[in-house]
Structure 1
Amino acid sequence: MTRPDVNVIHNIGYRHYDGARLGRAYARRSLFSQSLRGAYGLGRSAKSKVLPMILFAVMCVPATILVAVAVVTKSDELPVEYTRYAIYLQAVIGLYVAAQAPQSVSRDLRFKTVPLYFSRPIETVDYVLAKFAAMASALFLLTAAPVLILYVGALLAKLDFADQTAGLAQGLVSVVLLSLLFAGIGLVIAALTPRRGFGVAAVIAVLTISYGAVSAVQGIAFEQGSTGAIGWLGLFSPITLVDGVQTAFLGATSSFPGGFGPDAGAGAVHLLVLLGLIVGSYGLLMRRYRKVGL
């Protein structure tokens, strides 16, 4: 029996890549696009599309009904303000964040694929920026669509164009702030655990319990006549924080008990806290992925 020659070099067909090297910007855009599509189940299984599409419909159907009523009854105003629509449906928005934020980041953590992203050419800042932007964009689509439906319905009902356009602008600014805040909070919580179920429960708990607790304490303060404290209490829940900012700066009617929103000073604090939470969420995500990307 002859021994095979171990010094023979075998050509097994590997070829050098000669195509275009598109770099970090292309990788970042691709990750953003893939994450945004995934937030609505696009490019995934049919089962993955069910919940986000149902929640999107739940957000839009009431707006469609409201504008239909306004058109038929020839009302001189919409039944709900542009800035208050998302506040009324905050439970639906919270459920969407709880479902999609873990979907965006938990699987990468669970299957330890994050270091593969960071091998090259993408870096930590690219990954975090793409995920944050995709989640915020998905939330903006969810919250801005019904606001646009209200606006189109108002024009069909022949309401004042200037007033409705100003209201639309205020509503869009409000949902931009809400989208950035909820995206940041949701992603930070979801990035703490590779277990998607734990992430879903934690996001729901933070958004729901904080709102319920703040609303209860505000109600108690209103009943006891401590109306000055009602606006300040809005600092301790994400949705009431947005409510306080839009009441102080966007001319919205407050959803706080008795309509006692924050005054100018409290409103400025609300805005600073909201922006701080957005920036802080981004910073926490950067810190988290510097560790898990090793």
Structure 2
Amino acid sequence: MATEQPVRTPDTPVGDQTRIHDIGYRGYDGPRLGRAYARRSLYSQSLRGAYGLGRSVKSKVLPMLLLVVMCLPAGIMVAVTVVTKSGELPLEYTRYAIVLQAVISLYAASQAPQAVSRDLRFKTVPLYFSRPIETGDYVRAKYAALASALFILTAAPLIVLYAGALLAELDFADQTEGFAQGLASVALLSLLFAGLGLVVASVTPRRGFGIAAVIAVLTISYGAVSTLQAIAHVQDSTGAVVWIGLFSPVTLISGVQSAFLGAASSFPGGASPSDAQGVVYLLVTLGLIAGAHGLLTRRYKKVGL
């Protein structure tokens, strides 16, 4: 092993035995794939992690179980439709996610902390930013991964319903239109739930606290809003029913699809937003999605230092 003689300076103590050893490290001279590759890799790894792929068997149980729970009612509905030769599905495509919102909220609550809390807890975020990846890349990759995972969760049962409807020989045009409306609805829901879930989960490095907080935001808010809407309906305040729906993620999506996707209203008494109110619902939903992205970016500019 080659050594170099130390360079003696006036400040070097007499008898100093300092040596610089060449231990054979070589610089990397291969291709550098850059930020885009790093962003795609982080997205892919986060999406796989949302379903426990590449992780322990224990990590796969809950997400896979929730996926089965989401698809099972759709399979039952298809079986009933085929056997009874009914002329329509028991549930509209746009209503499916609203009915099973508790399962979707539980999935978001379990996977949002998994996506970000571990990095905060083990202080690995600065390591990401030591590579050719910036704060915006990290946030967009995590956001897109959780939104994609939620879209898979919510779109899979719609595919089962659509395939079953075609198997039952229901009207192709009607079913295709309903299926497309359902996909648009769950895509918007996935973006909203992913944003809110990640913002809440990024506040604490403790996964348990993150799960409880996300459940509170997504589920408890829906229960409170539904209760207030029911009270307003009993008091014949139809206008109040619609405006109260702005304060829960689930009722926001329900209002948007009632106004723009031809879905039946899930509000008490069948109250539905007018065109102007529908625009307000859409703007609030898009504002929450954009705001969630902005808050995440601001958050990770601090923790990445």
TM tier relative to shorter chain:
over 0.9
Q: 1:93 corresponds to which letter in structure 2?
A: I
Q: 1:100 corresponds to which letter in structure 2?
A: Q
Match of 2:124? 113
CA contact (8 A) 1:101 1:187 kept: yes
Alignment partner of 1:211 out of 219, 222, 226: 222
Alignment partner of 2:72 out of 61, 67, 82: 61
Alignment partner of 1:220 out of 231, 238, 246: 231
Match of 1:281? 292
Q: 2:132 corresponds to which letter in structure 1?
A: P
Please give the per-residue CA displacement for 1:215-235, whole angstroms capped at 9, x wherever unaligned: 001000111111121111110
Instruction: Decide which moves more: 244-253 or 256-265.
Output: 256-265
- Matched residue SS, 1:150: helix
Q: 1:63 corresponds to which letter in structure 2?
A: A
Match of 1:268? 279
Q: Which runs of 5+ in 1 are unaligned?
A: none
How many residue pairs match? The answer is: 292
Alignment partner of 1:132 out of 143, 160, 164: 143
Please give the per-residue CA displacement for 1:35-73, whole angstroms capped at 9, x wherever unaligned: 000000000000000000000000001001101110111
- Matched residue SS, 2:20: coil
Tell me how far 1:207 sits from its aligned partner: 1.0
Please give the per-residue CA displacement for 1:124-175, whole angstroms capped at 9, x wherever unaligned: 0000000000000000000000011100000000000000000011000000
Structure-2 separation of matches of 1:191 and 1:9: 45
Structure-2 separation of matches of 1:290 and 1:28: 17
**Structure 2 length as normaliser, TM-score?**
0.94
Structure-2 separation of matches of 1:9 and 1:129: 44
Match of 1:29? 40
Structure-1 separation of matches of 2:87 and 2:240: 35
Q: Which runs of 5+ in 2 are unaligned?
A: 1-14
Name the larger-Rg structure. 2
Structure-1 separation of matches of 2:18 and 2:266: 80
Structure-2 separation of matches of 1:139 and 1:76: 30
Mapped pair 1:176 → 2:187 = yes
Tell me how far 1:250 sits from its aligned partner: 0.2
Match of 1:100? 111
Tell me how far 1:237 sits from its aligned partner: 0.1
Structure-2 separation of matches of 1:208 and 1:175: 17
Match of 1:6? 17
CA contact (8 A) 1:230 1:262 kept: no
Q: How does 1:77-92 map to 2 (within 5 A)?
A: 77-92=88-103
CA contact (8 A) 1:231 1:261 kept: yes
Alignment partner of 2:205 out of 186, 194, 208: 194
Instruction: Decide which moves more: 277-286 or 14-23.
Output: 14-23
Please give the per-residue CA displacement for 1:90-135, whole angstroms capped at 9, x wherever unaligned: 0000000000000000010011110110112000000000000000
Match of 1:242? 253
Tell me how far 1:9 sits from its aligned partner: 3.3
Q: 1:72 corresponds to which letter in structure 2?
A: V
Structure-2 separation of matches of 1:6 and 1:87: 74
**Structure 1 length as normaliser, TM-score?**
0.97
Match of 1:292? 303
Structure-1 separation of matches of 2:208 and 2:24: 44
Structure-2 separation of matches of 1:240 and 1:5: 75
Structure-1 separation of matches of 2:293 and 2:21: 50
Q: 1:292 corresponds to which letter in structure 2?
A: V
